[in-house]
Amino acid sequence: MAEPELRVCLDEDDLDAALRFEARYGLTSSPKRLPMRLHYDGRGAALFGELTRQPEYYPTRCERRILDSHADAIADVLATEFGTGGFESPMGAPVSVIELGAGAAEKIRVVLDALHRDGLLASFWPFDVDAGSVRDVLAELAPAYPDARLGGIVGDFTIHLRHLPEDHHNRLVAFLGGTFGNFTGPEREQFLRDLREALHPGDWFMLGADLVKDPDTILAAYNDAAGVTAEFNRNVLHVLNHRLGADFEPEHFEHVATWDGDAQTVELRLRALKPMAVALPAIGLDVAFDTGEEIHTGISVKFRPAELEDQLRAADFRPEHRWSDPDGAFAVFLARVG
């Protein structure tokens, strides 16, 4: 079993520079804003894992159910597309799997297992901005797939898609967990264009997306009774305290999640519960908050399947399969490139 390879497109210095820029830009904007990506340090990743296990948080349960039910069908579709490297076996062509924003890469495993069972898993590459998550996944999965090549990419999927591995196998790029919904409309278009440019005919894109449904169900998922999503949302302030020596008092910011029906979007914010003056000495910035003032901390767009398929087609993907859970809460799309 070869040692997993780690490709680092984003090192600590890059992360530090991006954090400084985003904190200065976001906290001097009106309204104040901080990007979702900043939530995910080690603590943020652990809180995200915990929030996905809350009873109100249906997306992870539904997506896992879809993948559990259809992993064999997904593997069959992928393996029947013949590769360019001359590695075809009677079972089909081996596939390299890359998961963008992999986190703990829990749900993709059922697809990896299905490919592995048929001897068709060529390689697996978790890609995440959080180096700790990538390392943990590689350490955990390497023994499970001794015949496959394992490697990780530490990078930003809005910048580093041209660094996707190329190893003469057809590739499956998976983007699960509804992370695609964290982009604005223009960001989604740009991401799909960049991804299409990085892929070749014969590659596949698998996208997990949360669907439009009744607002009460959606909002409950972002307001779990145990307060885990609230703590995850406030983690961005802990990150600024830890990385920039800021003196935010996270407990004096209230977690707010609202539903914008026109935009089909959950908006996450942090609302100041009292007037506060916050210093960020590492970037020489002082920021004042009035009572009730909010920081925009992220969005989660919910989709209608046909609209999402149109967006994929507009970026030159060919959506060919769509699977949903029995309640139609979440969907997994499989689109061909070329």
Ligand X SMILES: C[S@@+](CC[C@H](N)C(=O)[O-])C[C@H]1O[C@@H](n2cnc3c(N)ncnc32)[C@H](O)[C@@H]1O
- Helix (H) / strand (E) element for 48: namely helix 42-51
Contact (CB, 8 A) for 77 and 111:
no
**Residue 301 in contact with ligand X, rule: CB under 6 A:** no
Pick from 128, 224, 309, 325: which binds ligand X (CB under 6 A)? 128
Q: What are the tokens at 72?
A: 């064999």
**Residue 37 in contact with ligand X, rule: CB under 6 A:** yes
Pick from 156, 167, 254, 316: which binds ligand X (CB under 6 A)? 156
**Residue 96 in contact with ligand X, rule: CB under 6 A:** no
Taking the CB of residue 305, how many other CB atoms lie within 10 A of it? 16
Listed residue (177, 11, 206, 208) closest to 98, CA to CA: 206
User: DSSP 3-state assignment of 52?
Assistant: coil
User: DSSP 3-state assignment of 149?
Assistant: strand
Least gap, CB of 158 to ligand X (angstroms): 5
Q: Using CB atoms, what's the residue nearest to ligand X? A: 177
**Residue 157 in contact with ligand X, rule: CB under 6 A:** yes
Pick from 26, 83, 94, 101: which binds ligand X (CB under 6 A)? 101
Least gap, CB of 29 to ligand X (angstroms): 19
Distance CA 112, CA 269 (A): 36
Least gap, CB of 208 to ligand X (angstroms): 7
**Residue 126 in contact with ligand X, rule: CB under 6 A:** no
- Touching ligand X, residues 103-122 (CB under 6 A): 103, 107
Count of residues touching ligand X (by CB under 6 A): 19
Distance CA 207, CA 318 (A): 12
Distance CA 264, CA 299 (A): 10
Distance CA 336, CA 205 (A): 6
**Residue 329 in contact with ligand X, rule: CB under 6 A:** no
Least gap, CB of 313 to ligand X (angstroms): 24
Pick from 54, 96, 123, 133: which binds ligand X (CB under 6 A)? 133
Cβ-based nearer residue to ligand X, 128 or 203: 128
Amino acid at 90: P
Distance CA 32, CA 30 (A): 5
**Residue 177 in contact with ligand X, rule: CB under 6 A:** yes
**Residue 176 in contact with ligand X, rule: CB under 6 A:** yes
Q: What are the tokens at 101?
A: 């924003």
Which residues contact ligand X by CB under 6 A? 37, 40, 45, 48, 52, 101-103, 107, 128-130, 133, 156-158, 176-177, 179
